[in-house]
């Protein structure tokens, strides 16, 4: 039975924590620590009203401050730390885990809050030149902890959300059970949900808008090919959702899969967007509202994208009003027993069913469930080995079983329509 420290108490954390409570054979105590203590206390009250046997404790923490996290870990002595705050905090939380020799789990790879920081910028510019993609986030910062985690005998499991996370497990599963050789992977993320607002993001607006407004890229024959934002558009008829426009984006699992499965000749990632979302985003970008660079307003320094976040609906509040389904999965081509083979593995998740079960919309749900699963596999010792890993580096079978058990059942289609 494990004691878990969860850092962050937003949309994803609320699902992950409630799912840990459903898995009370693994988790006996959860310490919920975040910047706004009242959110942690509200969630504790909600869980305690359900007769959940898991002990819940709450605390405030500034996860940008390593010493603050170390104090928390020293006080509560958790077996593992699940970071579902923001990618900005990944390195401080990893540093604290290292100091205290505690396993670390997250759902998104590191990116800096201040992209104008000259120290970070120097490393970034070098990486852009060497690797050929310009996204602000990449795995190099966290992979750099590999030796330190090995020496400390602790595990870091990176990116156990849906994408990355489940999508990478789908690749490992396809390779283990269906292919001798995978040639191409297309990761398709479709949100067919409608929340009724003219514009809102389904998870943290700052992280979401940064990702979507950046250049796209994909990997071909081991090299990055970069595109302009939204340059490559395709239409796809998603099972249980219908026809949607989708656009090629840079996405973090491409980097890890490219490293761990060098045989794959092409890896692409597509996400669906409606025209209204794209028009709003372009307009906000054109007027400077997506900028992370502080500007002076009435004698105060404000960061435009953070101010925009204040104006937009809280993603955690979209649950009651969002209807429709998500469909996220991977389409593979390759070879089995010398013959050509295609395969599609996907999950369909219904926004309203998630809301009825946990009070959340499907984007937080599809991220929070795999966050719990990855954490459970680490604390149970099934996915535990010293070093820094992504989810495609372990046996996929126990993870796939838990997806079925904890609300994200998957479908295997051996005759899918391919993406042109």
Contact positions toward ligand NDP, by CB under 6 A?
8-13, 34-36, 39, 61-64, 84-87, 89, 107-108, 159, 161-165, 203-204, 207, 315-316, 367
Question: Torsion-angle region of residue 299: left (phi > 0), alpha (psi -120 to 50) or beta?
Answer: left
Closest distance to ligand NDP from the beta carbon of 162 (Å): 4
Residue given tokens 């009724």 in the structure block? 196
Q: Would you call 119 exposed, middle or buried from its count of C-beta atoms within 10 A (0-12, 13-18, 19+)?
A: exposed
| Closest by Cα among 395, 409, 416 to 366 | 409
Closest distance to ligand NDP from the beta carbon of 415 (Å): 27
Contacts by 85-90, CB closer than 8 A, 24 or more apart: 85/7, 85/8, 85/10, 85/13, 85/34, 85/35, 86/8, 86/113, 86/204, 86/206, 86/207, 87/111, 87/137, 87/207, 88/64, 88/112, 88/113, 89/7, 89/63, 89/64, 90/141, 90/142
Closest distance to ligand NDP from the beta carbon of 134 (Å): 19
Closest distance to ligand NDP from the beta carbon of 294 (Å): 17
Q: In this complex, which beta carbon is closest to ligand NDP, that of residue 14 or of residue 217? A: 14
Q: In this complex, which beta carbon is closest to ligand NDP, that of residue 201 or of residue 333? A: 201
Q: Are 27 and 21 in contact (CB under 8 A)?
A: yes
- Give the nearest residue (CB) to ligand NDP: 10
Q: In this complex, which beta carbon is closest to ligand NDP, that of residue 23 or of residue 366? A: 366
Closest distance to ligand NDP from the beta carbon of 303 (Å): 13
Q: In this complex, which beta carbon is closest to ligand NDP, that of residue 7 or of residue 219? A: 7
Closest distance to ligand NDP from the beta carbon of 107 (Å): 4
Q: In this complex, which beta carbon is closest to ligand NDP, that of residue 42 or of residue 380? A: 42
Q: In this complex, which beta carbon is closest to ligand NDP, that of residue 110 or of residue 149? A: 110
Question: Torsion-angle region of residue 6: left (phi > 0), alpha (psi -120 to 50) or beta?
Answer: beta
């Amino acid at each position: 039975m494990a004691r878990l420290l969860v850092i962050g108490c937003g949309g994803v954390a609320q699902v992950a924590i409630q799912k840990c409570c459903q898995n009370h054979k693994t988790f006996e105590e959860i310490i919920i620590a975040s910047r706004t203590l009242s959110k942690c206390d509200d969630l504790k009250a909600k869980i305690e009203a359900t007769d959940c046997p898991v002990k819940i404790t709450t605390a405030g923490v500034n996860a940008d401050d390593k010493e603050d996290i170390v104090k928390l870990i020293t006080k509560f002595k958790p077996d593992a730390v699940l970071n579902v705050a923001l990618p900005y905090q990944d390195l401080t939380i990893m540093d604290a885990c290292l100091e205290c020799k505690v396993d670390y789990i997250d759902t998104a790879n590191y990116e800096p809050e201040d992209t104008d920081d000259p120290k970070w910028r120097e490393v970034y510019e070098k990486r852009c030149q060497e690797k050929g993609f310009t996204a602000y986030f990449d795995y190099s910062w966290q992979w750099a902890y590999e030796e330190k985690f090995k020496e400390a005998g602790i595990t870091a499991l990176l990116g156990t959300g849906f994408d990355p996370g489940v999508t990478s497990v789908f690749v490992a599963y396809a390779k283990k059970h269906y292919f001798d050789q995978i040639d191409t992977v297309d990761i398709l993320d479709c949100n067919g949900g409608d929340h009724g607002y003219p514009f809102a993001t389904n998870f943290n607006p700052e992280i979401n808008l940064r990702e979507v407004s950046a250049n796209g890229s994909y990997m071909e024959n081991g090299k990055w090919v970069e595109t302009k934002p939204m340059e490559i558009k395709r239409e796809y008829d998603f099972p249980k959702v219908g026809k949607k426009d989708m656009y090629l984006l840079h996405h973090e699992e491409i980097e890890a899969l490219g490293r761990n499965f060098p045989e794959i000749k092409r890896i692409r990632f597509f996400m669906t967007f409606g025209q209204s979302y794209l028009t709003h985003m372009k307009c906000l970008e054109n007027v400077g509202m997506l900028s992370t660079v502080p500007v002076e307003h009435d004698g105060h320094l404000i960061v435009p994208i953070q101010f925009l976040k204040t104006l937009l609906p809280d993603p955690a509040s979209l649950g009651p009003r969002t209807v429709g389904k998500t469909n996220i999965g991977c389409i593979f081509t390759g070879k089995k027993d010398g013959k050509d083979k295609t395969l599609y593995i996907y999950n369909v998740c219904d926004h309203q069913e998630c809301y009825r079960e946990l009070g959340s919309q499907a984007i937080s749900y599809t991220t929070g469930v795999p966050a719990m699963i990855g954490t459970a596999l680490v604390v149970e010792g099934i996915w535990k080995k010293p070093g820094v890993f992504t989810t495609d580096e372990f046996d996929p079978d126990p993870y796939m079983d838990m997806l079925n058990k904890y609300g994200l059942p998957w479908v295997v289609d051996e005759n899918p329509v391919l993406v042109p």
